[in-house]
Amino acid sequence: MFIKAMEEKEIAPGGMKAVSLNGRSIVLCNHGGTFYAVERACGHARAALERGALTGWILTCPLHYAQFDIRSGEALSGPAPKSPESGHPDPASPALATAGLKTWPVRLEAGAVLVDMQ
Ligand code: FES
């Protein structure tokens, strides 16, 4: 069942916004007027993905820079490797695999963004 998430005008093209629907935290992404809904928590260590960067269909995590395709949720790359110059512990633990993101169908209706949360 499609549920109204927000007004279309709330996210400019290239933008993202986190919302909560049916108890799930999701991020809505506007790619040139087409909207996509993906899970909010990064598939690596659960960073909030709306704080990342959206370039075309690629969503980059703000924490360790894993990348996801917002159309499918597929994890395109894992966290960035530790800099050899860094003396700090590696925050992007290789022990943590990077899972893909759940996605939901989205449609627009009378200026509203609707998400199918089934
Ligand atoms: S939390 Fe997203 S790449 Fe680590």
Task: Locate the domains of the chain by residue range.
Answer: 2-79+94-113
**pLDDT, average across residues 19-43:** 97
What pLDDT, on a 0 to 100 scale, did the predictor assign at position 92?
58
Strand partners, 21: 24
Question: By alpha-carbon position, which residue is closest to atom 1 of ligand 1?
Answer: 45
Beta bridge partners of 106: 115
Q: Which fold has domain 2-79+94-113?
A: Rieske Iron-sulfur Protein (2.102.10)
Instruction: Look up residue 69 and give its two tokens.
Output: 């395709």
Which residue type is seen at 45? A
Collapsing DSSP states into helix, strand and coil, what is residue 106? strand
Mutate to test the pocket of ligand 1, among 27, 38, 63, 68 (most ligand atoms within 8 A of CB): 63
| pLDDT greater than 90 at residue 36 | yes
How far is the C-alpha of 79 from the C-alpha of 98, rounded, in Å?
A: 8
What separation in Å is there between the alpha carbon of 79 and the centre of ligand 1? 6
Give 109's pLDDT tier (boundaries 50, 70, 90): very high
On the question of pLDDT at 53 being above 60, the answer is yes
